[in-house]
Structure 1
Amino acid sequence: MPRYALKVEYHGAPFAGWQRQRDQPSVQAAVESALARLEPGPHGIGAAGRTDAGVHALAQVAHCDLAKNWTPFRLSEALNHHLKPDPVAITDCAQVAPDWHARFSALERRYLFRLLMRRAPATHMRGLVWQVPRTLDVAAMRSAARHLVGHHDFTTFRSSICQAASPMKTLDALDITETETLAGRELHFRLRARSFLHNQVRSIVGTLERVGAGAWTPQDVKSALAARDRSACGPVCPPQGLYLAGVCYDPDPFARDV
């Protein structure tokens, strides 16, 4: 039974998250339904990460097992046909080893968070960014972010319902860049780690926004991390600015020979 890796892009607004849920739409259910149109099911697929309701993906990775040998191109085309009109697309596909796993074979996850700084309501970017009506102090936010990079107990920055066995995580990078878009100035937060805790990224970005607004100092973020107490966290920002931007594997199943 061949196994396939799927690179999945989706707009998270219509869904209750990636994971299949009773009586609520999910990205997983949409992909499994499309698979069932190709081969009799039920189908169960695994993913690199379980994004929450409203969170988007540029490059989620999932795997599926099928009875038939498909060429990756034909499989992705067939799935995209049956995924319509859901805002979900298979942007790449590859056949992988039978023991390859989208979650357990992953070496790193990358997230992007987009924050739009403008007072006028967002129109074209609505649902795709977190909008704040003020200009933020990027230098202060970068200073605060440096306290979070490395191996730490992230109890302060994880959801109270997080099911991870340990709050210890290594945040490999947290970069903040400012860019001009057609809608206005955006801050892009790029985070890299082998794995993340539930709500870790949104907790971090929400706290750093307080630093940018002048309500917190960079030292306050260091103290909050050291407190190892969820109540010490700043506000958790909304989901619509968050994107699962990539998952790294070695070897990369989607690599193409040049």
Structure 2
Amino acid sequence: AIAMTDDALMDKYFNGDDFTDEEIRKGLRQGIADGVIVPVCSSAFSLGHGIEGLMDLLITYVPTPLEHGPYYGFNEQNEHIERVSVVDAPMSAFVFKTMVDPFIGKISIMKVVTGKINSGTEVLNERTGKMEKLGKLFFLRGKNQLELNYAEAGDIVAVAKLQYTLSGDTLCDKSDEIRYLPLDYPEPSYFIAIEAVDKGDEEKMGTGLNRLREEDPSFIVTRNTETHQTLLGGQGEIQLSIIMAKLKDRFGVSVRTVPQKIAYRETIKGRSDVQGKHKKQS
């Protein structure tokens, strides 16, 4: 795999020569950067084993954001454009994840692709066409939040309480609009019918599900107008179980699954001629 990253290394490989440590490092780094080599690490998070090895691998072999290839997107005329991750450029960032905190509210996690972002500045949400004012920027370090005044190209930062921004949105300078390729979510393939254990919690259940959808757009919530049931759709039983658990933990709403009703259809298949008489007493 390392030899395939470079013609000189390929020749050396076929000649039966051994690679030096420097050649192995260079080939690994190039292969990971090109996406043809995918490193796999083992670790035990609860025991704290393997974490240092993972971090060493990231630092040694994974290319920095500034060595990343061009990012593809579209301008306001819907023309295909490319951006290289550099600090000396108009600001742009891609929001790839959203978290819902019951105390802080919505936390948007984004990668700064180009330029520099300062806390308290206004940026354009390309999807909605509305301006968003950024609050305090911070790094997430587990449960801790490390505040900072600015972030540069390559940084992954978080910001709380953005009004219009969802996962997959692009934030950019209004003078240099760009829309990066959005996240591609799979279609839901598994549906269950749910209802609140306490009938008075129906509204809270709807609010909680809408908040969780901001965090995980891969599941959907629909209301069947014929059976009057709330349907939860996702990728499988485990995902939907986690969503119901989050509803209880974060929003205090207990829900249960109920048998899903089927709206059966009947079709008239034959013809009939009949006569009838309706008598009504005057």
- Which category of TM-score, normalised to the shorter sequence, fits these structures? under 0.3
- TM-score norm. by structure 2 comes to 0.23
- TM-score norm. by structure 1 comes to 0.25
Structure with greater Cα Rg: 2
